[in-house]
């Protein structure tokens, strides 16, 4: 007996065996139970998600000798013949090979005749989007008003190519991709039923490589079984699929976290011995960074790589959230641009070196200052040239100088003071001296310094910045303060929600300075003689929201 491929042998034969398409199954089962079965169905979705399978199950449900039912018996002659592909009243058509209008007309010539054996004559047209325009036109009238004994089941991977006149005549069901976890469970079940020894990592790689297609997963499983001589090992699967060893990707990330360029290039040398696809390497790198970011946001999150969860958690605790986001962005942009590089390895190395060249920790994030872009120029149609020239003059140069309070606030934030071995120094200067960056700096500038008593540093947290306080950011700030004071310190946060007076944090000072600059800019525009002239002559108006201060204001 010839070998039957796993994808054919384990094709679902009833709605109860179908998985992953509950929204389609529920609608079809209810329609069969109530007898409200439409005359035309359109199943859409990527390859291998069950379009043809669902159509055949529906054909069995319509023609089962026990009656029209959502649970066909599977043993009557109609059910068996449909499963074997030889039921005379199930006409399967491959539209990709029968695109001409003459083929469609020949097909429709037999629509008027009653079914030979079954209850309904079912037309299953696969890849229907391949039909020509004339074929669609020939099909339209029959598709809209077929004889009562005819059902049309259409399947396509590209519904955008179907005319709207066809779409409007069908009930459309969009089949979803299968998640890797569902594919993995199905592969485990099949291997157990087939008595095939397997390693969990091997099946996990096959499930990921299938990219949401159950048929592709079973075809790959057949291929890996043949490659491994009847057994599934992670090493054989990795070799056949060309998949990277996860340890290599982990090694690259560890070298990036250590900011060791030599070690990064050594890891690339080891990787190059296996002649990898560097676009896929960057995809694996981005996938790893995404999981690290998820674990940082939700530490108790369950990930599918259960065997390596400790390794993931270790890396997640070693990399900062800012670097994880930065590395991920560089990886996906680098993957897109890799084909523009002189050679793949050189482009991959440049992506890694770019990750080392930029550090999110060195970027001092803005703390609420207003944007510095200049206002959009007003429309000048119909305005005399002399007035336009006057209006185009550098109005901002006439703006009054920043207020004393603004200058004092800006100076107090920007000017670092020498570190004090002890005592309660100015908090603005201390933040600047510690060289904080990213979210840690945001947490610090949203606090007011209450003092240091012994080894305890007390900070009052502004409610507006409470969302910056996480265990990781709190620990980083404590470490920075310990370095600043030259001794281990204990950090105590006090909620500032009940403060009697508004808190005077660096963030509020910067915001006040920015508001002051914005008011000065708006006042300078309102008081400008050219602007006043345009208001009086042309009835012009100024939109305050469009005014932004310049950097030198």
Q: DSSP labels for 370-407? A: PP-PPPPPPP-TT--HHHHHHHTS-GGGGSPPPPHHHH
The pTM for the full model equals 0.58
Residue-level pLDDT at 527 = 87
Residue-level pLDDT at 551 = 57
CA distances from 395 to 392, 525, 539 (A): 8, 7, 19
Q: Is the pLDDT of residue 399 over 50?
A: no
pLDDT digits (tens, 9 = 90+) for 361-381: 444 333 333 333 333 333 333
Domain boundaries, the chain: 6-174, 180-241, 246-362, 384-553
Class of domain 246-362 (CATH, top level): mainly alpha
Q: What are the tokens at 14? A: 């009833």
Lowest mean pLDDT among 192-196, 202-206, 262-266, 391-395: 391-395
Cα(119)–Cα(164) distance, rounded to whole angstroms?
30
HSE (CB half, 13 Å, CA atoms) of 394? 5
Q: What are the tokens at 300? A: 């108790």
**Three-state DSSP string of 255-298:** HHHHCCHHHHHHHHHHHHCCCCCHHHHHHHHHHHHHHHHHHHHC
Check: CATH 1.10.357.20 for 384-553?
Answer: no
SS3 121: strand
Cα(184)–Cα(237) distance, rounded to whole angstroms?
14
Q: Is the pLDDT of residue 506 over 70?
A: yes
Residue-level pLDDT at 543 = 84
CATH of domain 6-174: 3.40.50.300
Q: Is the dihedral of CA 446, 448, 449, 455 positive or negative?
A: negative
CATH architecture of 180-241: Orthogonal Bundle (1.10)
pLDDT, mean over the chain: 82
């Amino acid at each position: 007996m010839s070998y039957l491929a796993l994808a054919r042998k384990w094709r679902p034969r009833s709605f109860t065996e179908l998985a992953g398409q509950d929204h389609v199954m529920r609608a079809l089962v209810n329609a069969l139970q109530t007898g409200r079965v439409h005359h035309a169905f359109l199943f859409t979705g990527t390859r291998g998600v069950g379009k043809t399978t669902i159509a055949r199950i529906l054909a069995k449900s319509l023609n089962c000798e026990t009656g029209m039912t959502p649970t066909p018996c599977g043993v009557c002659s109609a059910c068996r013949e449909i499963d074997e592909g030889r039921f005379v009243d199930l006409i399967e058509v491959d539209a990709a090979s029968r695109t001409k209008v003459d083929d469609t007309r020949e097909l429709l010539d037999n629509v008027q005749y009653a079914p030979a054996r079954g209850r309904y004559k079912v037309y299953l047209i696969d890849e229907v989007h391949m039909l020509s325009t004339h074929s669609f036109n020939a099909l339209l009238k029959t598709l809209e008003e077929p004889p009562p004994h005819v059902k049309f089941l259409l399947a396509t991977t590209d519904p955008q190519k179907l005319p709207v006149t066809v779409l409007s005549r069908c009930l459309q069901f969009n089949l979803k991709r299968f998640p890797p976890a569902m594919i993995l469970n199905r592969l485990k079940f099949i291997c157990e039923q087939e008595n095939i020894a397997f390693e969990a990592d091997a099946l996990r790689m096959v499930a990921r490589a299938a990219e949401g297609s159950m048929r592709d997963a079973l075809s790959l499983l057949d291929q890996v079984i043949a490659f491994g001589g009847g057994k599934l090992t992670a090493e054989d699967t990795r070799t056949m699929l060309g998949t990277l060893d996860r340890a290599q990707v982990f090694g690259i990330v560890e070298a990036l976290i250590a900011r060791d360029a030599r070690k990064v290039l050594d890891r690339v040398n080891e990787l190059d011995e296996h002649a990898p696809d560097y676009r896929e390497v960057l995809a694996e790198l981005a996938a790893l960074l995404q999981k690290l970011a998820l674990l940082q946001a939700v530490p108790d999150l369950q990930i599918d790589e259960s065997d390596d969860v400790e390794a993931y958690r270790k890396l997640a605790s070693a990399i900062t959230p800012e670097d994880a986001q930065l590395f991920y962005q560089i990886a996906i942009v680098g993957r897109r641009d890799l084909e523009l590089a002189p050679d793949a390895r050189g482009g991959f190395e440049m992506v890694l070196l770019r990750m080392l060249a930029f550090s999110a920790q060195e970027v001092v994030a803005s703390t609420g200052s207003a944007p510095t872009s200049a206002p959009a120029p007003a429309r000048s149609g119909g305005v005399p040239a002399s007035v336009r020239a006057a209006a185009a003059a550098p109005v901002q140069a006439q703006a009054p100088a920043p207020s004393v309070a603004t200058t004092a606030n800006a100076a107090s934030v920007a000017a670092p003071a020498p570190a004090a071995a002890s005592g309660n120094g100015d908090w603005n200067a201390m933040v600047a001296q510690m060289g904080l960056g990213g979210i840690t700096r945001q947490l610090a500038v949203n606090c007011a310094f209450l003092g240091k008593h012994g080894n305890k540093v007390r900070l009052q947290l502004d409610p507006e910045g409470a969302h910056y306080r996480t265990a990781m950011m709190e620990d980083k700030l404590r470490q920075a303060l310990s370095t600043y004071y030259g001794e281990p310190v204990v950090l105590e946060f006090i909620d500032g929600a009940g403060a009697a007076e508004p808190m005077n944090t660096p963030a509020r000072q910067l915001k006040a300075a920015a508001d002051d600059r914005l008011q000065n800019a708006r006042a300078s525009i309102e008081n400008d003689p050219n602007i006043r002239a345009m208001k009086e002559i042309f009835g012009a108006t100024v939109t305050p929201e469009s005014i932004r201060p310049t950097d030198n204001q």
